[in-house]
Structure 1
C-alpha cells in the first residue's frame, strides 16, 4: 500500500481525472482523502462513494478563483488532520478547445483561465505549504497538459496556463526541496472523461490516431503516474514533468 497512512488532498476531485486520482489514492492505502471541489453535488457524491467503499474521505468546497476559499480549505484540512502528505493540483478550467484563435480570445476568458489554473495552483501550494512541511515527505503533483509540450493551436489561454504550471513546478521544486517536499507535474493528453465530452470529435481523433499507442486515453492511464509521484519511491524525483499521453508527444 504505497500511500499507507498518508493524508492526500485532490482539487477538482468531483469527477473526471480528479475523482479517479482520489479513488486511486484511497485504494493505495491513504489514511484520508480530501475531495476539494467547486461543485457541491459532484464533491459530495465523490466523497460518499469512497466512504461507502470503506475509505476515510471528506468533501470540502473549493473555488480556485477565490483566494479566501483556498485559504479556508487549507485551514480546515490542517485543523482536521494536522498535516498534509500529498497535494494533487488537478482543478482547472478549459474553454473553447479547438475553437477560438489567439486573436479571437476575449480578455475576460484569458483572465479567468489564468486566475484559476495558474494563480489558483500557486495559492494552493502556498496555503498548504505549512501543512506539507509537517509531513515526513510532502509531495505536490501539478496537473499540466501535453498541449503545452506540442503547442496546441486555437487554445492559447489554456495552453499558456499549462505551460506556466510546468515552469512553476520547476521553480517550486527548488524552493521547497530544502523542506523535503517534492514538486512534479504530470502532463496527460486528451482524456476521455466527462469534462471532455464537449470537445469536438475530430480533436479526439487527432490524438487517438497520432499516438504511438493509437487508442483513446482514459483516466486509468494517468493514475499510475500520479500515485508514483505521491509515493515514497519518488522521494528523489522533483521538478520534473512526466508526459502521459500514449506517445502523442515525447519530452
Structure 2
C-alpha cells in the first residue's frame, strides 16, 4: 500500500516550484491532491498533469481562503492533509532592514503568516473529522540562522515556526499533527533572481555540498502527511543538506 493511499491532500502554492514537486510526490504516494494557487494558468496545468482538481487561492484574501475550504468540503467531502506552502519571498540579497517599505512588510505578513493561520483554521474541521489529519507548514532555514537582507521574509517564516509549535499543542487533542519543514535556497524558477553569491553561500556551506531542487524537499513532506507522523508533531525539520543543524 502506498504511503498516502486513500488520503486527500491540499497543497497551496502548487502551481510551480516546491508546491508542484510536493503535489507530484503526494500523487505518486497514492493521494488525491487538490492544487491551490493564485497563478491560475500554471495551477491548472499542474492539476492537469496530476489528473487532479484546481482551486484558485489568494492567501491575502480571507474571504477567498474561506471559499477555498468550502469548495473542498463541498466537492471532496474530506481532507486528510494540508500543506501550507504558498508564500511571498521578497528580495533575497535585497534591501537592508531600514529600507524595507511598510507596504512590502504588510503584504508579506498578510500572506505568509495570516494566510497560513487562516488556511489552517478553515481546514481544521475537515482535518479533525477523520482523526488522522496532518498540517505541514513550509518555513525556511533563513529563520533558523538569521539570514541578512531579507528581514520581512525571515520574520514571517519565524512566525510560521512558532505557529507550528503552538498549533501542534492546540490541534493535537483532535488527532491533528502539525509540523514544519525548513528548506534552504533551492535552484528553481522562483530563485532565479537570487544573487549568485547567496546561492554559493548555501551550496558551499552545506554538510553535503551542492545545489538542491524542489524534488529534494518533497519526500520529507510526504512522510509528515502520513498517519504515522503524529509522533513528530510540533517539530521543525531543516531539509537543507546540513546547512543548519537544530
TM-score (norm 1): 0.96
Alignment of 1:132 with 2:127, yes or no, is: yes
Map of 1:10 onto structure 2: 11
Corresponding residue for residue 41 of structure 1: 41
Alignment of 1:73-222 (within 5 A): 73-222=68-217
Quote the RMSD (CA, aligned, Å): 0.7
Please state whether the residue corresponding to 1:4 is helix, strand or coil: coil
Unpaired runs of at least 5, structure 2: none
What SS does structure 1 have at the residue aligned with 2:217? Answer: helix
Query: 2:241 — aligned with what?
Result: 246
Q: Who is 1:54 aligned against?
A: none
- SS for the counterpart of 2:19 is helix
Q: Following the alignment from structure 2 to structure 1, what is the Cα–Cα distance between the partners of residues 130 and 143? A: 31
How many aligned residue pairs are there? 245
Q: Alpha-carbon deviations, 1:202-227, whole Å to 9, x = none?
A: 11111000111110011121111101
For 1:78 and 1:37, locate their aligned partners in 2 and report how far apart those are by CA, in whole Å.
Answer: 17
Match of 1:230 in 2: 225
Give 1:60's aligned residue. Answer: 55
Q: Structure 2-normalised TM-score?
A: 0.98
* Per-residue deviation, 1:80: 1.0
Poorly superposed stretches of 4+, deviation over 4 Å? none
CA contact (8 A) 2:131 2:174 kept: no
